[in-house]
Amino acid sequence: MRMAFVGKGGSGKTTLCSMMVRYAQQKGLPLLAIDADINQHLGEAVFGADYQSQKPDLGTELAQLKTLLLGKSTVLNSTSEMVKTMLPTQGSHLVTLSESDAVLSTFAEKFDKPNQHFMHVCGFDETDIGTKCFHAKTGAVELVLNHLVDDQNDVVAVDMTAGADAFASWLFTRFDVTFIVVEPTLKSLSVYKQYKEYAKDYPLTIKVIGNKIADADDLEFLQAHCGDDLIGTVTHSKWVKRAKKGLPQVMADLEPQNAETLERALSFLQSQKRDWTQYWDMGAEFHTKNAVSWANEAAGRDVASLIDMDFLLSLNAAKAA
C-alpha cells in the first residue's frame, strides 16, 4: 500500500517520512521508499549523513527506466510513446518489491533486509537550472507507481515536494493515503486546507500528522482545525534532534508516544482496500487530459488511444484469484 508525505516547507515532512521508512524497515516489511522532493534529503535522513547514492537517478536515466518498463508491450511500439502518464499494457514490465525486479535492481539501493528498496529522483544540475521544471524529473516516479503492482503488506513511502505542488501533476492520485505533516501554526495549517480543497473532487484518503507538538495547547489547536483527519502527533523529540545532527539513532530509542503515532499511521495504511478499477479510471482520466494538452504532440500520435482496458481486466482477475 502506498503513502505520500506532504506539507509546508519546513514542516518536517521529510523527517516524518524517514521515520516511517525506518520504522517499516525494522519491522521487516516489504518496502519501497522514494525521494521525490527537489531537495533530495530523504537518503541522508534514512541512511545517515554519509549517504552517497550508488544507483542511477530516476529522473536522469528516464530513457533506461522506460526501456525496462516497456517490456514486451503488445500496445506500445517504442519508449517514445511512453509519456509520464502512461498506464501499463499487456506485456509491460510490472514492478514488484522483490529482490529480482529489474527496475529495482537497476535503480534502488538495498536495505539490510530482503525486499526493501530506496530510490531517488535527483535534484537539478547546472544544465537544468532555468530550463526545466522539477516535474520533468518526478514523471519517472509516476511511471514507476503506474507500473507497480503492490500487495496489502507492501509499504511504499514517497517524500513529495512541499506544499500543494503535487497537484501540478497527477502524482497525487497514486496513493492509498496522503499524510499531511502539519505544525501547530496558521501557515502550516493553510497548506492542509489548500490540499483538502484541491483534493475534494477526487477519492483521496487524507490524514494529518501533527509535528513539533510542545504542549496541550498545540494539540488542541490541531484537533480544533483538523478534527478526525488528525491521526497522531509527534512531539519535540531528542531522537529527531540527534538524528538531524548526523548522530546514529536506533528506532528502539524513539520516544514511545512518537513510535505509537508511526504505528497508528502504518496500521491505518495497511487497513486500506484499494479499488483497482477506481485507481485505473483516475489514471485514464488524467492520461487523456495530458494527451490533449501536450502528450499527443510529444509522442507524435494519439496516446490516449493506447489505454489498454484488457490489462485492467487481467489485473482484476489476478487480484481476485
Beta bridge partners, 230, equal: 208
Specify the CATH number of the domain 2-320: 3.40.50.300
Q: Is 145 exposed, middle or buried (0-12, 13-18, 19+ CB in 10 A)?
A: buried
What gap in Å lies between CA 35 and CA 278, rounded to an integer? 26
Cell numbers 516511517: residue: 20
Rg (C-alpha) for the chain, rounded Å, is 19
- Angle in degrees, CA 252, 257, 262, rounded to 5: 70
Q: What is the pLDDT of residue 313?
A: 83
- pLDDT string in tens for the chain (321-residue length): 999 999 999 999 999 999 999 999 999 999 999 999 988 999 999 999 889 999 999 999 999 999 999 999 999 999 999 999 999 999 999 999 999 999 999 999 999 999 999 999 975 455 544 444 445 678 999 999 999 999 999 999 999 998 888 888 889 999 999 999 999 999 999 999 999 999 999 999 999 999 999 999 999 999 999 999 999 999 999 999 999 888 888 999 999 999 999 999 999 999 999 999 999 999 999 999 999 999 999 999 999 999 999 998 888 877 765
Q: Residue 130 has what pLDDT? A: 43
- Check residue 137 and give its pLDDT: 76
pLDDT for the residue 123: 54
292, amino acid identity: V
Q: Round to whole Å and give the CA distance between 167 and 90.
A: 29
Q: Which residues make Cβ contacts (< 8 Å) with residue 61, sequence separation at least 6?
A: 107
Domain boundaries, the chain: 2-320
- Please tell me the pTM assigned to this model: 0.94
Beta bridge partners of 190: none
Q: Helical H runs in 185-215?
A: 186-199
* pLDDT for 169: 85
Q: Which amino acid is it at 261?
A: T
Interior/surface letters 89-118, b for 16+ CB within 10 angstroms, e for the rest: beebbbbbbeeebebbebbbbebeeebbbb
pLDDT of residue 39: 87
Which residue type does 234 have?
V
Dmax (CA) of the chain: 60
**Amino acid (1-letter code) at residue 59:** G
Residue 321: per-residue pLDDT: 56
